[in-house]
Structures are given as structure tokens and as C-alpha cells.
Amino acid sequence: MAQGSDNLAAWSHRVVYAAPVGILERARVEWFAAAFGLVVGTMMVFVPYEFGAAVFQLIYPYVRPLGSLFLVGSALMLASMLYPAWPGIVGWAGRALFLGAVAFYWWSASIVSLSRTGALLYPLLVTTLLLERMARFQGRGLLTVFISSVSLCFGTLMLLMPHGFLRFSFQGDGSGIRPLGAVFLVAGALLTVGLWRRRPGEARVALGGLSAAFLYMMGVLAAHASWMGMGVYGVLSLACGVLLGLRRVPVPAGVRWRLFRGMALASVLPILCVGAVTSYLAQRALEEELRGKARQAVAAETAWLEQTATLARSLLRAQSRDSGFVAAVRAGDRQRMRETVELLESEAALFDAAWLLDAAGETLVPSVRLNRITGNFAQRDYFQDALKGGDEVLLSRPFLTRANLPFVVFTVPVDAGNGARGVLVGGLSLQRLGLQPTLASRSYHVELFDRRDGTLLRETDRGDVLTRTPLLELLGEDALAAPQGMLEVFDETGRRLLVAHARVEGTPWTVVVTARLREAFAPVTRMGAWVVAIAVLAGAIALLLSQWVGRDVAQRLETLRDGFAALGTPAREQREQRVRAEGDDEVAQLASGFNDMAARIDRTQKELREAIAIRDQFLSMASHELRTPLTPLKATLDLLIRQLGSGQGMNPERQRETIARLNRQVDRLTRLIGDMLDVSRLQSGRFALTVAPMDLVALAREVVERIQSTRPERQGLLSLEVPAGALVGRWDEQRLDQLLTNLVENALRYSPPGTPVVVRVREEDGQVRLDVEDRGIGIPAESVSQLFTPFFRARNATEHYAGGLGLGLAICREIVERHGGRIGAKSDGPGKGTCFTVWLPRAAVADAA
């Protein structure tokens, strides 16, 4: 067995998987099984009464549960294939239910009924489905192996035993079976060879021929109204068509696939389930109604026949006991006797014929309607039974008159005197009885037969009488032994019949009302067909809409994906990758959020690039500014070291100048480092003020004097304008000293030699105003708004190098704003000087401190 399994695996690997990966190499039998189960289960649940052929007699009582097993198992298999992430128990449960239903159907409808096609098809389906789940065949579709095996088996049997496949031919003699078998055999061999030799072209040609062959079989079965066969071979033809049309296995991924599989389960299956429940309830209701109407029809027919028999007996009994009639019989008054007989068969009477016989069976008074036929009827059973039956009215067995007319008669003895007895006969024509309108619906078939010998008395379809009733052959006499009842049985053609029967009291008659369930349930069948059609149409529409919606969503998500991919590109390209936020759904909100995020990232990147540029500029300026004082400082120190090392002295005046230069460079380094420390404190939030009462006028004089003392060349050019009295307020004296020093030094730095700088301090509108005005290089208009930004220097300031890092004005703004004041600059343009103005509240920062 192990060697056989290895050989099978090797053969399937060679046949199916040697070629490049495509639809022929990956098509799974499970997809075919799920489609087959859905089709068959739908038919069994929605149109169970269509399974009335002889081959379905064993499964008919279980057709709905069997169809439910097919539907549930196929739906679970389909769900496990559409959602591979679901637990594996879902797929195993679906396969178990499906295989159980197939096994029961195969045994009941194929093996027991000796169906060759079913006996081959279903074992092959089960075998390949189980093999596909083995580890050796995991991920390898065996659908092409299954189709080629089916075609080879069908072709061989059709050629060897064509008479076993007569139902697959439109000709009654089965002359088309051998050509069909040849097509199957050649196409199956070509499919096998094409897969074995890695020739997909030959395999597709074979699939085209097999698709046409299976379609032909479906058409033949459709002509014979075989729904089950139509479903099986329709799915096989569709599978061959799909394998022929597709070139590769579709990759299930993306939003469109998720929407497709969701709609496939959410649209079709609920409609089928609701439709199945509705169809089942409708069928049950119609079945109950059908049974009720059958009972009513039997009861009505029985009541009518009982009434007819009772009335016939009453008429004969009354006439036989009429004193005038009895006297006429005793006296031999034929005129009086004829009047009585004519009265019984008159138009207003019940009987079709009446006649009077004497004790020897001779006709005393013949029937007018029977053409006055006379003679001796002593051999008739009804005459002999009447003489033996006492005074009761007896009902005879049906018989043919001498004129070959079917009759049933009521007889009663008549006292003829002197111990002799005549017989009064009243006859009912079975032909007329058959022409009487039935009280049952037209959809019912009514029969009346004699229980004594099963002779048919009344039949509403063909009008046959005096034959053995067919139902006794189907049901058997024991089935109708009960006084009344309801049965279901198959007729000689395999159609299901509902049979209601009841005895006619006082007679040996039994009334049988039959209804063909297929015709009776035709409205429900049509409703089920409409439900299935609506489900398929709704599913198709839902799938198309899902594709349309999925394409729209996928396109917008792809645009978002491209937008995210472009976030790392320069700002110009990012702006070109903005997505359109169309609509008001969540995707549009996501697109709008993406655009906002992209804009923020754009701004952040821009600020980052500016910060990097400022950093680079700062590092360049800082290194240059730090190098500027360090270079002369190092040179001066080297000079001092050499002089000290050589033993040569330096006159005091030269020493003072040298030390003064060193001190100025050290002061410059101290200011640079102080400015950088202040900026660091500003950015970290550690720039605090220490406020106390102070005089701003005194501070201004001190700053001006200090700067003049360090810059002798500016003597007389730096002027101070202050009020006569003091301007006292609560300020941080150290920071205001830094503010005023920076503004004055800045004015001097960017003013040509010999140009004045004016410092003004005055009180204005309850505030203190401080102006520092120069006539230096001025400020371009576009640079005024950025003067107080850290590390910023105007274009003309950069060209007119005067040293500095661009931090002084930023520190000045922070000092003024921390005091609750404001600072501004005004310039008429390059070369026209600048005026810096500061407004300080007298005690604005007292509470804040």
C-alpha cells in the first residue's frame, strides 16, 4: 500500500505539477465539491418533489435533510477557502458533512439503483477530495486529475456498454452513446497526455471538448427533467470552462478581494437560507392543504355515493312493497307493472334502466332504455343473489349487459303469490357514473372500485371501467384494507403520488383520490426557482457592486499609499502627491487627515531645514567669532613669552597696551559665551529676572560712560538725552544694563566712523521709552520682521562684517518681553540709519517676579 501511495503521488506530481504554476496546476477539487454541493443542496431543499424518479425512491423521504447537509457542508468548505485564517475545524466539519451526504446519496441513488455514472463519479470525487488534504498533496490541486479520470471512465464504459447510458441520448435507440464515449475517451487521454508532457495547449483543447460533452449531457437530462443530473454535469461543464478560460490562479489579496468574498457569503447564502426556510414552510403548508383537500374530496365522493346507494335502495324497497305493484305482480297486470318500471327509469328517477324478472328469471317487464331486450337472466349473479338474500336490497357486482354496456344493479325480491318471488332490478350505468362531475378538484384523480374483486367502477381521467384498478398493483390490497387513510407511493413512472382512500358505507365500494405531488407542488417549485434565481441575481449584483466599490476604495487607498511613499521626498514633490479627499466617507476623512499630516510634515521639514541651516550658519559664525579674539590673544601671549624668555624687558607703557588688548579680547570672548549661555537659558526656560527698584536714568549714564571709556575714538559722537529727574521703576538692573549695552554696541558696530549715536530716555504715557538711534548702514525692509530671530543677520550686515553671532537682538527682545514691554526697530532702508525703541512698564514685572 505504501508503494502504491508513493506511485500515485509521483504520478500526480508528474501530471499536474511539472508544468509552470498556473490554473491547471493549482485548481482544487474542493472548489468543485463546494459548487456541486451548493447546486445539489439547493435543488434538494427548494424543489424536493422533483426527485420523484425511481432512482430516488430510497432518498426521497430524506431529501430535505440530505440537501441541508449538502448546503451546510459546502458553505463551510467555501468559507474555509475564502477565509484561510479561520480555524481549521470549519473546513474539516464542512468536508465531513459533505462526504457523509455524498456517501448516502451514492449508495441510495447509484449503487442500489445500478447507476453507472453515479457509481463512478462520486467515488472519484471523494477520493481526490481526501487525497488533496494529505500532506503529500497539500497545496496541489487535483481537479484536472479528477476530470481526466471521470472522462476516461465514462468514455470506456460508453464504448463497451452503451445500453447502460440510454438516458444520455436524444435518440431512443441510444445511437449517440458511442460517439459521446469516443469524445470522452479521446478528450480524457489528450488531457492526461497534455499534462504529462507539459503541453498546456493540448490540455486546454481537451478541456474544451469535455466542456461541450458535459454540456450535451446536461441538455439531455434537462429534456428528461432530471434536475440532479443537470446540476452535476452543469458544474462539471462550468469547471472545464473555468480551467479553459483562466491562465493562472487569481491571487486573493487586497480590499477588492475582501469585499468580494464578504459579499459572496453575505449576499447569496442568507438569501438561500431564508428562501430555503420559506420554501420549506410553504411546502409544509401546501402539503397540509393538499392532504386536507384530499380528505375532503374523498369525503365528498363517499358521501355522494352513499347518498346514491341509499336513494337507490329506498326507491326499490318502496316500489317492491307498494301494495298496488304487489297486487299487479300477483294478478299478472303487465300494464301496472310497466308503469312502475317506467317510473323507476324516468328522467326524474335515479336509475338508468329497470326491469322485472319472474321466479325463473324470465323478463316480465323489459327496460325501455335497454331497447326492450328480453330473455332469461337466471344465470346472472345479481338474480341468484336476490333470491338468496331475503327481503334486503342487494348491490351486485359490475357486469356487461348483452349490449356490452357496463352496469351495476340493485335488486330486491317481490312477492308474486303462492310462494313465488319475482325480482325488481334497478340498474346504474357505469358510463354515466363516470361522466358525472367529480366533487374533487381538477388536480385530483378519482377512482371507485369494488373491494370484492378490485374491479374499477369509476375513473375520472380515462373513463376505464370493469378492469382491475391500477392502485391495487402499486399499493397492494392490504394497504387499502383500512376504512380510510392517507398514503404516499411512487407510480410506475417513479412519480410520487398522494393517495387518500375511504370506504362507501353500505356498499362494497372504495373511493380513492390521488394527486401527483410534482404537479400539486408546481407553484412551490416555481417559487423556489424564483428564490434561487433571485439569490443568484442578487449575488451577481452584489459581487459586481463589491468590485465597483472595491475598485473605488482600492484606487483611493493606492493614492494614499503613494502619498505615504512620497512623504520622504522634498517638499515640492510632496505637494504634487497630495491626495484628493472626495466624498464624506471614512476613506475621504483618512485622505483629509493625510493631507493635514503631510502639510504638518512639510512645515516641520521646512522648519527643520531652516534650523539646520541656522545651526550650520551659527557654527560657522561661532567658530569664526571665537577664532577672531583667540588669534590675537594667542599671538600676544606668544610675544610676551618670547620676551620673557629672551630676558628683554618691556617698558611699562607697552606692557599696559599689551595687557589692555588681551583684556579686550577676553571681554569679547566673555560676551560671546555669555550670549550663547543666554540663548541656551531662553530655549530651556531658565531665563529669570531679579527685579528691584532702580533709576533707569542713572543706568543709562553709566552705560554710556563705560562704552565711551572703552572706545576713545567715539568721544563726542555718543550722546545721551535724559530727563532732569530720576525715572525709578521695578526692573532687573543687570538685564537692562545688558539690553542697553547690546543696543548701543550694535549701533556703534554698524555705524561708519564719525557718525553720531543718540540714546534717549524719557517717560511717555505712563511708560518709559528708550531710543537708540544711529545713522549707520540701515536695514532692508524685508529683514525688519526677522531682526529679533536668533542667529539672523540682515543681508547688508553680513556684507558689512562687524562681528557677532546674531544673538544680541534676540536676547534684547526676550529681556524686554520678560519685563512686560515691547521692542521695535525702524529704518528707512539701507544706508539711512536705524532707530531701536523699547517701551517698559514702570512696574510691569513686579507681580510676575
Q: Decide which of 392, 415, 432 is a domain's last residue.
A: 432
The cell for 492 is: 410506475
Lowest mean pLDDT among 582-591, 680-689, 828-837: 680-689
Q: Is residue 237 part of a domain?
A: no
Q: Is residue 802 part of a domain?
A: yes
Confidence band, pLDDT 50/70/90 cuts, at residue 616:
low
Q: Is residue 208 part of a domain?
A: no
Residue 818 confidence (pLDDT): 82
- Contacts with 841 (C-beta within 8 Å, 6 or more apart), sequence order: 729, 766, 767, 768, 819, 820, 821
Residue 400 confidence (pLDDT): 82
The cell for 47 is: 424543489
Task: Provide mean pLDDT across the span 647-658.
Answer: 66
Residue 729 pairs in a beta bridge with: 694
Confidence band, pLDDT 50/70/90 cuts, at residue 450:
confident
Task: Provide mean pLDDT across the span 665-690.
Answer: 65
Task: Provide mean pLDDT across the span 641-665.
Answer: 67
Residue 12: helix, strand or coil by DSSP? helix
Digit-coded pLDDT (tens) for 341-362: 888 887 666 888 888 888 888 8
DSSP label of 468: B
Q: Is residue 831 part of a domain?
A: yes
Q: Is residue 714 part of a domain?
A: yes
Q: Decide which of 402, 432, 462 is a domain's last residue.
A: 432
Digit-coded pLDDT (tens) for 744-757: 888 888 888 878 88
Residue 96 confidence (pLDDT): 92
Residue 835 confidence (pLDDT): 92
Q: Decide which of 409, 432, 455 is a domain's last residue.
A: 432
Angle between helices 586-646 and 522-565 (to 10 degrees): 20
How many domains, in total, are found in the chain? 2
Residue 406 confidence (pLDDT): 86
Q: Is residue 297 part of a domain?
A: no
DSSP string, 708-737: HHH-GGGTTTEEEE--SS--EEEE-HHHHH
- Prediction pTM value: 0.59
Task: Supply the CATH number for residue 380's domain.
Answer: 3.30.450.20
Interatomic CA distance for residues 399 and 380, integer angstroms: 9
Q: Is residue 820 part of a domain?
A: yes
Digit-coded pLDDT (tens) for 426-441: 888 888 877 776 666 6
Residue 849 confidence (pLDDT): 36
Residue-level length of the chain:
849
Q: Is residue 599 part of a domain?
A: no
Confidence band, pLDDT 50/70/90 cuts, at residue 482:
confident
Do β-strands 757-764 and 718-721 pair in parallel, antiparallel, or remain unpaired? parallel
First to last CA, the chain: 97
Confidence band, pLDDT 50/70/90 cuts, at residue 577:
low
Task: Provide mean pLDDT across the span 152-180.
Answer: 78
From residue 87, alpha-carbon distances to 77, 94, 226, 286 in Å are 12, 12, 38, 41
Residue 1 confidence (pLDDT): 39
Interatomic CA distance for residues 40 and 56, integer angstroms: 13
Residue 458 confidence (pLDDT): 81
Place of cell 407553484: 523
629 has pLDDT over 60: yes
740: containing domain? 688-841
Task: Supply the CATH number for residue 702's domain.
Answer: 3.30.565.10
